[in-house]
Amino acid sequence: MSIAQTGRRSRRIRGWRPLALATSAVLVGLALPAATASPAAATTTAYDDTYYEDAIGKTGPALKDSLHTIISDQTSISYSAVWNALKVTDQDPNNSGNVILLYSGKSRSKSLNGGDTGDWNREHVWAKSHGDFGTATGPGTDLHHLRPEDVQVNSIRGNKDFDNGGSPVSGASGSYTDSNSFEPRDAVKGDVARMILYMAVRYEGDDNWADLEPNDSVTNGTAPYHGRLSVLKQWNDEDPPSAFEEKRNEVIYDSYQGNRNPFIDHPEWVEAIW
């Protein structure tokens, strides 16, 4: 672990009170952490009386069940239609001709979608081999976990579980990887967590697809599980929903699938369920 990584990880320590922290930092001459994150809180309550009406007030498995029912009412699109959808959902707010690539944060021309070096392609944040759902219309085409990514960076991420640690990823500054896991840059850590946990609630094995669930492993292989839950929960707290993420949720709801990612509207529901 590099010094830089150590610094990044130590910035948030659960349960430390600011006064005690300041005092102990002075006593032992430590630098204060650069930032602290608050527990997740609702991004919007605009849908609580309507879309989420049946889920409000619930917790644990009852909340998960209720959200599953709510978000399973959706339109599904084909894998070929995903290209044009991503050009809308992930459009660069500062350049309408470009999309933002998830792990690298780079802005790249919408027209460079494809499979060659320098192109961007369709990254399955829930690795499609975890549950082996492929790219048939279903979980493999669900826009809530599909993002544009550079072809090479996508290949480096592969089907690895998510965890902290590793060596810097070429072409994706701030991301790290080792033999069995991938750590995205700080600005999208929460996005990744909320996408994985959306998939876990949306897919419960009551249709033709596997029951996708998070766990704490980094060796899930083709099992319908994705790790690591403990790290994803931290990332959800550290990186609250951004305007980009909220707009993306809205566009998928309004224009493509008619369903929402509940954890973008209510990130505190992660802790309420897991």
Binding residues for Ca ion restricted to 235-254, rule: CB under 5 A:
239, 242
Question: Of the listed pieces 42-50, 80-88, 156-164, 182-190, which binds Ca ion according to CB under 5 A?
Answer: 182-190
Tell the smallest beta-carbon distance from residue 192 to Ca ion (Å): 9
Tell the smallest beta-carbon distance from residue 252 to Ca ion (Å): 16
Number of residues binding to Ca ion, judged by CB under 5 A: 9
Binding residues for Ca ion restricted to 188-217, rule: CB under 5 A:
190-191, 200, 204, 211-213
76 binds Ca ion (CB under 5 A): no
Pick 37 or 81: Cβ nearer Ca ion? 37
DSSP string of the chain, one letter each residue: --HHHHHHHHT--TT--HHHHHHHHHHHTPPPPS---PPP--S--TTTTTTTTTTTT--HHHHHHHHHHHHTS-----HHHHHHHHHHHTEETTEEEEEE-TTT--EEEGGGBSSSTT-EEEEESS-TTTTT-TTSTTGGG-GGGEEEEEHHHHHHHTTPEE-S--EEPTTSTT-EE-SSEEE--GGGHHHHHHHHHHHHHH-BSSSSS-B-EE-S-S--TTSSEES-HHHHHHHHHHSPPPHHHHHHHHHIIIIISS---HHHH-TTHHHHH-
Tell the smallest beta-carbon distance from residue 123 to Ca ion (Å): 15
Tell the smallest beta-carbon distance from residue 100 to Ca ion (Å): 11
Residues within the interface to Ca ion (CB under 5 A): 190-191, 200, 204, 211-213, 239, 242
